Amino acid sequence: MTTIQIPGFVTFTIAIIVFFVGSSLNRILTPLKRWNIPEAVTGGLVAALLTLAAYRFFGAEIAFDLAARDMLLLYFFTGIGLNARFSDLRAGGKPLVILLVLTLTYLLLQNLIAVGSSTLMGLPEGIATLLGSVSLIGGHGTTIAWAPLIAARFGLGNALEIGIASATLGLVIASLVGGPVARVLISRHHLSGQPAEPPSIGLPDAPATERESSINHVNLLRTVLVLNVAILIGFALDEIVAETGIKLPLFVVCLLVAIVMTNTIPRLFPHMFWPSRSRSLALVSDLSLNIFLAMSLMSMQLWTLGGLGPALVIVLGIQTIVAVLYMIFIVFPAMGRDYQAAVISAGFSGISLGATPTAIANMTAVTKAHGPAPTAFIILPLVSAFFIDIANALVIGFMVR
């Protein structure tokens, strides 16, 4: 087996090509666009299949340098923070609590399904933990963090491989089911967004007027400067927060910093340029998310899924069915049965089966086609990337004990 290491700049360039491949396929295969499958997901899966073919037929393991991916994630979530007005946060107070309760409930349900189905199929003890919230709600990061402890506790020598395979397959499924769920809900209930609302993430697919399309290099550079300042403050605060013993993802810290900045600086300096709800910020956010997602999906090592036996695939199939039913019959009604609820339901696929960026990508694909949903982009990352991580750690600790 030969390992081919792709340098960071080449990886970034390939990710752009992968996005355009996905965009072209979405135009050619109209069902992909109709069902709100993000372009980066389409292209990323094609690239992942090509790396799988290289592994199977040529014995070449392609590894990408993903250093730029983490920076793109910071740009994206900081952009969400810069669009967050306190009025939106106040409006999102009740929905935030409801979504948190729904997610906590699903966290317990997901682990019950994993335990029950694994027991019925006679899988080794400890695998249930890996096929529940460790790999699905937790994703790759949580899997890597907990796999050594699970391996030692239950004597599972391949715990990491099982967990990574489950998290990888969950990410693929989450990327594919969110858009169709939203499509069904929007069509069935005749829902739509508010076209007059400025874009928060991504520019709409419809042609813009000359005034709307006026994005110049000065505004773009001003936007990037504000993003960079917020991220630098986030880096500094992250170190201070870490010293207190509180563990937060860096992108959550940057998100919170941006929220504070966008609700104070424009009030103190009303004549100063500020990028909130601007097309330049929407453009940067869209670019960051798409390249991040393309990198994430094209770098998936699909050959690790070969270690999953039929029984494990069945467990993940059950998890997927339950997640989709939960989105349609629990999340959507509880969140209000409106357009915002449909967008959040699309994003819930990322919470339940994939990762926060997957959730946001699914919601972005929906809002680009049907109109903005600003509250959804505020409350879902806070639930998915902050509150649920704490609850998941407590539940995993209990299951391992």
Q: Could you tell me how many helices (H) and strands (E) the chain has, helices first?
A: 19, 2
* pTM score of the predicted model: 0.78
Mean pLDDT value of segment 212-231: 85
pLDDT of residue 203: 53
pLDDT digits (tens, 9 = 90+) for 81-134: 888 777 766 666 789 899 999 999 999 999 999 999 988 988 887 888 889 998
One-letter identity of residue 373:
A
- With bands split at pLDDT 50, 70 and 90, how would you rate the model's confidence at 217? confident
The 8-class DSSP code of residue 307 comes to: G
pLDDT of residue 201: 58
**Lowest-pLDDT choice from 38-47, 199-208, 293-302:** 199-208
pLDDT of residue 342: 96
- With bands split at pLDDT 50, 70 and 90, how would you rate the model's confidence at 293? confident
Mean pLDDT value of segment 275-303: 87
- Flag whether pLDDT at 49 surpasses 90: yes
pLDDT of residue 212: 43
pLDDT digits (tens, 9 = 90+) for 271-282: 899 998 888 998
One-letter identity of residue 2:
T
pLDDT of residue 386: 63
Provide the CA 372 distance to its chain's centre, in angstroms. 18
Work out the angle at residue 306's Cα, subtended by the Cα atoms of residues 321 and 110, and round it to the nearest 5 degrees: 30
Closest to 364 in 3D by CA, of 334, 344, 384: 344
Does residue 259 contact residue 92 with C-beta atoms inside 8 Å?
A: no
pLDDT of residue 202: 55
- With bands split at pLDDT 50, 70 and 90, how would you rate the model's confidence at 306? low
pLDDT digits (tens, 9 = 90+) for 14-40: 999 999 999 999 999 988 888 888 899
- Structure-model confidence comparison of residues 355 and 116, the more confident one: 116
Is residue 64 within a helix (H) or strand (E), and if so which, with residue range? strand 60-64
- With bands split at pLDDT 50, 70 and 90, how would you rate the model's confidence at 213? very low
Closest to 296 in 3D by CA, of 106, 47, 17, 119: 47
Tokens of residue 220, six digits: 């773009």
**Chain-wide mean pLDDT for the chain?**
86
- Flag whether pLDDT at 74 surpasses 70: yes
Q: Give the integer Cα–Cα distance in Å for 223 and 227.
A: 6
pLDDT of residue 346: 95
Mean pLDDT value of segment 293-303: 86
**Helical H segments across 29-92, by residue range:** 30-34, 39-58, 67-82, 86-91
pLDDT of residue 24: 95
- With bands split at pLDDT 50, 70 and 90, how would you rate the model's confidence at 222? very high
pLDDT digits (tens, 9 = 90+) for 141-195: 678 778 888 888 888 877 887 888 888 888 889 989 999 999 999 999 999 876 6
- With bands split at pLDDT 50, 70 and 90, how would you rate the model's confidence at 209? very low
pLDDT of residue 211: 41
Name, in order, each residue with C-beta under 8 angstroms of 337's C-beta and a sequence gap of 6 or more. 189
Q: Determine what percent of the chain is predicted with pLDDT higher than 70.
A: 91
Relative to beta strand 2-6, strand 60-64 is parallel
Question: Helices 374-382 and 93-120: crossing angle, nearest 10°?
Answer: 50
- With bands split at pLDDT 50, 70 and 90, how would you rate the model's confidence at 369? confident
